[in-house]
Amino acid sequence: MHHIGRRFASGLLVVGLVLCGSLASAQVVVGPGNAALLFPYVTTEAGKFTFITINNVGLSTLGTPIPAYHFSYAMKPVTGAPNHVVNKAGCEHFDADVVTTPADMMIFEVGGKVTTDAGTSALFEGGLTAPVTSLPLTFPVAGRVGFLIVETNTPVVDSLFGTTTLIDSAAGLVVSLSTDFLSSAIATNPDFSGIDGAAVLPGIGATGFKALSWFPTDIIDTSWFVIPLGDRVTMAPPGGGGIRRAIVPYAPVLPAPGVQGAHDLDEQFFSGGKTAPVRCFGYIDRDEILQPGTDLATAGGGWTAVASTLLTLPASDLVDPSGSYTPGPFLMIAGQVSAALGAPMMTVHRVPDLVPCFSPAGFGLTCPGGGP
């Protein structure tokens, strides 16, 4: 995922893909009463493009164009190698109300780098001389990555759905992510904790297990994007900052539950883990959660389970002195990059829960999001 922030397509290619319908793929209605959406990855970096669509089904009485949505951005500056962003740093905040109308489909590029109509960042609206149905809020600062929360401006009954489309020709990435399972119910402060569908394993004392896996590192480079989950005010606070989570690798079963380390492709377990602190959001590479020996021993491919755990940074820490990192829900997205087929190619997928909360009951498990 470090590579998502480095390389993207030309505007001509992007507009061509938009016109071919890439923005409309994989849209899923999340059901009446879901009035807040989390778009988990957006960027305003040079040469990179993030297109977003937002639809409402018109259940509420919105009337003529009014500030019917509220946008909340949580962003960080891109820092370059070895870290894409400073994981322990807090996010920058940017929010405002947004105009829309009942049954509207809003389309825009997050950084405003692609436009179709003079005077507006909304795409395909016919310009300000046509009826105004969408006035999206773009993020005005270049060189940033982060996430976006969109909600109804007042807690009214409606259903929102949409997609994020990321395009990076240099990395070989064209991907659309729907908002299915990235929504929250109607609330004055929507809570996204329930997005984490991972059960807590008894006796280990950590929260939200995710199953990480990787191919041989000389063929495919794998890293992970982490977003701590909670309500909108704590995920994207007006004063900047964000939720703290400390990610640690564990053996869920063999050789014993709770041992830090990872398995290779021959089922051999190597102990030796690290705890990676993430505030607001961040990127994690293998060397940030595995000790050097374990990192090298599993470079031919392997897997581990990660969870969030308790961590307090010392007062001498230069980025987040005495930061308290608490266990709780989080979301992970894997990015895999390879040039093995001759040209750079990238895939993106949501990291699966080790034990999903929709699994059959009876294992003594609990769900951090309050599920069964």
Note the pLDDT of residue 80: 78
Give the number of other Cβ atoms within 10 Å of residue 352's Cβ. Answer: 15
Confidence of residue 344 (pLDDT cuts 50, 70, 90): confident
Note the pLDDT of residue 28: 34
The string of pLDDT tens digits covering residues 50-98 is 999 999 887 665 555 666 889 999 999 998 765 689 999 999 999 999 9
pLDDT at residue 11 greater than cutoff 50: no
The string of pLDDT tens digits covering residues 287-316 is 999 999 999 999 999 999 999 999 999 999
Over the range 4-36, which residues count as b (16 or more CB within 10 Å of their CB) and which as e? bbbbbbeeeebbebbeeebbeeebeebeeebbb
Of the chain, the percentage scoring pLDDT greater than 90 comes to 53
Confidence of residue 321 (pLDDT cuts 50, 70, 90): very high
What does pLDDT average to over the chain? 84
Confidence of residue 356 (pLDDT cuts 50, 70, 90): confident
The string of pLDDT tens digits covering residues 132-169 is 788 899 999 999 999 999 998 876 667 889 999 998 87
Lowest pLDDT segment from 4-8, 151-155, 192-196, 327-331? 4-8
Note the pLDDT of residue 5: 36
Confidence of residue 363 (pLDDT cuts 50, 70, 90): low
Note the pLDDT of residue 34: 64
Note the pLDDT of residue 174: 81
The ranges assigned to domains in the chain are 2-190, 195-350
Lowest pLDDT segment from 78-82, 205-209, 267-271, 282-286? 78-82
pLDDT at residue 25 greater than cutoff 80: no
d(CA 190, CA 167): 29
pLDDT, mean of residues 347-358: 88
DSSP string, 239-262: TSB--EEEEEEE-SSSS-TT--EE
* pTM for this predicted structure: 0.86
